Amino acid sequence: MRTELDTPQQTVSAAALLQGARSAVEQSYPCDDSLARAALHLIECATDVVVRLPERDLASARDVLGAARAAVVTATVAVREIHDRERGEQVAAPAGPGRVVCGLDR
């Protein structure tokens, strides 16, 4: 079964839905909430993928792979933070390439 986006209209629709999700997160959560920042970064990575998939060239494929890797790092940090919160531990802000700040500094 083919699940990729086949038309520019579908790409625009998916990108618009992701933009709506991003706006909802930005409006619903404070800028300093680390899980909201992680959600924003994941939405941005997904948007990058949706916009670049129809191009079907090697450079776009590399960009999509980079976005997927960034999403995995962000999700891993978010899951670790949730786990640590549940254990009652204070978690320091992650440093390095997986760090995300409000407004997405990538």
Longest Cα pair distance anywhere in the chain, in angstroms?
47
Per-residue pLDDT in tens (0 to 9) along the chain, 106 residues: 344 445 567 767 888 899 999 999 999 988 778 888 888 989 998 888 888 877 778 888 888 888 889 999 999 988 888 888 888 865 455 554 444 444 444 3
Model's pTM, two decimal places? 0.62
Structure tokens at 2: 């083919």
Yes or no: say if 68 and 39 are a contact pair by the CB < 8 Å rule: no
Structure tokens at 69: 């890797």
28, HSE (Cβ side, Cα atoms, 13 Å) = 10
Structure tokens at 18: 């992701």
- Tell me, rounded to whole angstroms, the distance of Cα 23 from its chain centroid: 13
